[in-house]
Structure 1
């Protein structure tokens, strides 16, 4: 079955939280959405099982959803209590068991069985038995479980572990596939959809057609799930054991490769911690993660592979992936230059930052509020916007580019942001649309466009717009005081690295509407210092002629105030 073209269909309606079974209705909505858009990626058996959900009573289906939402796949029946079901739990379990949705008395490793038991229950069952000889009540739960696990390494029925009334989901992987197809990831769980009042928010409507899907083959789905299994294995197994299990992913699929590169980075870090530098270097070299190359260079330095580290650092400085990498590689190259008796690569000249000191009477206010109060005057308003004003203006001006429907960016109608927002090629895939949006800064049309979007999209979720920060009066002041050329420079800098450059903007903006000028102020209290991401913005402002400074605040003691 090929999914229909849902490009202009009405978004599914979320359930009302006043309904005791709201979570079931939202779950049904999610399943219907996946069937409508991704049915061709499910097997015939999976489709048949989903069809059979309708055969269950409402209460049994609700209990199944409750269990799917819970952590793990096994549950103690004596701990299940859901008053809204208005039915005996045992009867519902019997119905779900008959329908092959639940399995009674499943086989479990001891570690899984122990997660369903308290320390007191474990002690009562095991201590004093010959099999647990030498184990004492003084042992904590994890130590006790680890010791027992070595003596009983094989899985056994739950009842054998002292759990006589235990059930397990028979097809947890099916629900994982549904969750992945809906969210586009596995870090969001069912509660992110089925137990929230989605109708409380507004979301940008984006066409969701088959051509825009991130997952176009069953293999893509299988590979992502394998990557997730490998990630979970890293929590309990050496990286060297997990490495051969990594799938050969489709390198033409950005959605899949983003997860693959992230996992390689995690594996490389873990291998380094586990004393396996060879594997760590291999994994980091293969990873396209934004931090992988710098981590690789530092590891090469620690391994005394100085020539290799030098080559990596100097090559990276010719085309750094991020500003953070550039700064890190510059520091690495300077250290290596000293060790290898070479000339360090020339670093760009750093502009002088505008800095000033201010002493105010000791106050319980945050330092930003104290400085804002000091700078406020008859003609000057001061706003503590930090990373919110300029990003909001950017988000409003570039709304259409941010929500441009490109393959793999949107999975469902309740997304606050494109799924690839933090991917390295996010801007490149929308380059012409961003250029069109910024072209409006060449004349006054940008002000009309931002105002129009502010009115038309008010309250609609956008990763760059924090609606409580914005008011029409703040927009008026910003347009009167901030030149368009400064906004163009700011937005262009944001676009060079949306993940990194959304942080570090100065705390305060002082707007003098009468003189039509403004000032950005980063406030540093006693003992505080500039962070790298703050310094790079201030250096950028200095190069662009944008008025920005650092205020070093100190508190006057009572004697000084007298």
Structure 2
């Protein structure tokens, strides 16, 4: 059990220092002298100045009132402000629009401020937004002068450098310093994987600048969507074309943008624009959406041809279900026959159970099987994801180019994708061979338990520690032959993100045999992820059944 700790007063500052040191160590060669100096300045100032600057840049701003700042660890706020101002990192009394500092003052404060510049009586019941409209009719110059005479408005500068450092550390701009807190508080521990300089996310400054450009592009797109501004969306399509990715990292980010933009155009029924977006991406579901868009445009032959090509290229797991039915629809529209896929047959049983409204159907079904001599657990995906994750723990956290952005990850960047296994195939297979030898030697349970205890509560994308006690894993590996465990794991590895769901609800065992049971209550249908696993069980002789439940 991780122990919670009391944070030091400078926890946020030490964490930001850690971020700066990390960025300078890994990326100094990609930074300008000005950007390098940014980090060095923050590290070298008097402590109070560093505290204040980091406090402000980590808060929602951009403007702050000095009289509202209260930080116990800052001994002299005035001296800290003076230091930052002298170094060009803080502006006191900046130029601003009224809307930009509106939230810094309460409604009563605005009533007092505006009351000096109007003869009208301002009712106490007035809404704050109505006050802003009233202020717009007054002299902004006078109001601003009054504010700056009475209050010290602060504006921390060099925000662009701060965002750059965050991007270089996290590999994105949506994560923030709260990631450090999970470790600081003892809430979470992280695998101590290595991030070598040659494996860092960004290998060129152009790559960094293009990711920043894409970030700005996304901000503009979200705003255009919120404002229902179709002309702006069309302009953003043209601006996205101008970004010529310098590496695979930028290219993948751009493809995601093209795929998303295509869906936006579909909502506007701009089919040609949507099609042109999908043509520039292979990021799922771009190819599927491209075929569907061709159908909308009546280009059926082209859609059929693309389906055929998709089969030849090897569909992503997310596209396989689509290819099972959509080509038939296209050929039917073209007036020609097409061999329909055979409806798969699953081992199915029908049980009548007396309904208990206080328990889930899965628990009631488990009780039903236990009354017939089985032992079992209601596990769904949890047990399998835990077992598979542990079996490939070491290869998962090995250093590889672009695998990790920063030290607080729950797995490599591609862990939930189809590229995870191919990039580590040799290491994973060698590791599984090692486990197979351990299994033959009779030490499987002991070694897996040692690993489980050593890694317990370590952050992992697919492992919910507290929901998977080791006794469940112990039972599974004692009754399932390792060869079958490895067979199941091999499918899971094809796409851990997609194949981490769809496992049967129940895991049952009786003596040396086991059974997987998918429970279906009345009117409950199999999902595509479940069908995928059931078909795999059919193909590889994994004992299972679909239990269709009817209530007595």
Match of 1:269 in 2: 263
Match of 1:356 in 2: 350
Contact 2:191 2:397 in 1 (8 A): yes
2:465 paired residue among 467, 492, 512? 467
1:42 paired residue among 31, 40, 53? 31
Match of 1:336 in 2: 330
Match of 2:400 in 1: 406
Q: Does 1:33 align with 2:30?
A: no
Q: Does 1:306 align with 2:300?
A: yes
Distance 1:189 1:349, change over 3 A: same
Distance 1:208 1:357, change over 3 A: same
After TM superposition, the structure 1 = structure 2 runs for residues 64-103 of structure 1, keeping only pairs within 5 Å, are: 64-71=53-60, 73-77=61-65, 80-87=68-75, 92-103=80-91
Contact 2:390 2:452 in 1 (8 A): yes
User: Offset at 1:407?
Assistant: 0.5
Match of 2:196 in 1: 209
Q: Does 1:233 align with 2:220?
A: yes
CA distance in 2, matches of 1:356, 1:432: 44
CA distance in 1, matches of 2:141, 2:490: 61
Q: Does 1:174 align with 2:161?
A: yes
User: Offset at 1:89?
Assistant: 5.1
Contact 1:105 1:159 in 2 (8 A): no
CA distance in 2, matches of 1:397, 1:189: 31
1:323 paired residue among 317, 320, 330? 317
Aligned-CA RMSD value: 3.7
Contact 2:417 2:495 in 1 (8 A): no
Q: Does 1:220 align with 2:207?
A: yes
User: Offset at 1:331?
Assistant: 2.9
CA distance in 2, matches of 1:157, 1:355: 81
TM-score, reference length from structure 2:
0.83
CA distance in 1, matches of 2:411, 2:146: 46
Distance 1:93 1:435, change over 3 A: same
Match of 1:248 in 2: 243
**Number of equivalent positions:** 526
Distance 1:488 1:81, change over 3 A: same
Over residues 235-263 of structure 1, what are the superposed CA-to-partner deviations in whole Å (9 max), with x where a residue is unaligned?
Answer: 12332222233353445x33322222212
CA distance in 2, matches of 1:406, 1:430: 9
Match of 1:11 in 2: none
Match of 2:229 in 1: none
TM-score, reference length from structure 1:
0.82
Contact 2:354 2:551 in 1 (8 A): yes
Match of 2:228 in 1: none
Q: Once structures 1 and 2 are overlaid, which stretch shifts more, 496-505 or 106-115?
A: 106-115
Over residues 381-404 of structure 1, what are the superposed CA-to-partner deviations in whole Å (9 max), with x where a residue is unaligned?
Answer: 322221121222211221222122
Contact 2:17 2:43 in 1 (8 A): no
Distance 1:368 1:169, change over 3 A: farther
Contact 1:250 1:256 in 2 (8 A): yes
Q: Once structures 1 and 2 are overlaid, which stretch shifts more, 494-503 or 443-452?
A: 443-452
Distance 1:249 1:139, change over 3 A: farther
Distance 1:233 1:332, change over 3 A: same
Local SS of the residue matching 1:215: coil
Q: Does 1:540 align with 2:540?
A: no
Over residues 488-514 of structure 1, what are the superposed CA-to-partner deviations in whole Å (9 max), with x where a residue is unaligned?
Answer: 2211111111111011111221122x2
CA distance in 1, matches of 2:312, 2:131: 54
Distance 1:352 1:550, change over 3 A: closer
User: Offset at 1:328?
Assistant: 1.7
1:502 paired residue among 461, 483, 500? 500
Q: Once structures 1 and 2 are overlaid, which stretch shifts more, 15-24 or 390-399?
A: 15-24
User: Offset at 1:303?
Assistant: 2.4
Q: Does 1:429 align with 2:427?
A: no
Contact 2:325 2:341 in 1 (8 A): no
Which segments of 5 or more consecutive residues in structure 2 lack a partner in the other structure? 119-124, 225-231
Match of 2:487 in 1: 489
Over residues 145-176 of structure 1, what are the superposed CA-to-partner deviations in whole Å (9 max), with x where a residue is unaligned?
Answer: 9x99xx99xx9999499897543332222111
Contact 1:22 1:195 in 2 (8 A): no
User: Offset at 1:224?
Assistant: 0.9
CA distance in 1, matches of 2:288, 2:111: 49
Distance 1:105 1:436, change over 3 A: same
User: Offset at 1:121?
Assistant: 8.6
Which segments of 5 or more consecutive residues in structure 1 lack a partner in the other structure? 1-14, 131-136, 557-562
Local SS of the residue matching 1:235: helix
Match of 2:515 in 1: 519
Distance 1:144 1:86, change over 3 A: closer
Contact 2:502 2:533 in 1 (8 A): yes
Over residues 520-541 of structure 1, what are the superposed CA-to-partner deviations in whole Å (9 max), with x where a residue is unaligned?
Answer: 1222344433221122212222
Match of 1:134 in 2: none
CA distance in 2, matches of 1:139, 1:287: 49
2:9 paired residue among 20, 43, 49? 20
Contact 1:24 1:194 in 2 (8 A): no
Contact 1:317 1:330 in 2 (8 A): no
Distance 1:495 1:214, change over 3 A: same
CA distance in 2, matches of 1:528, 1:118: 54
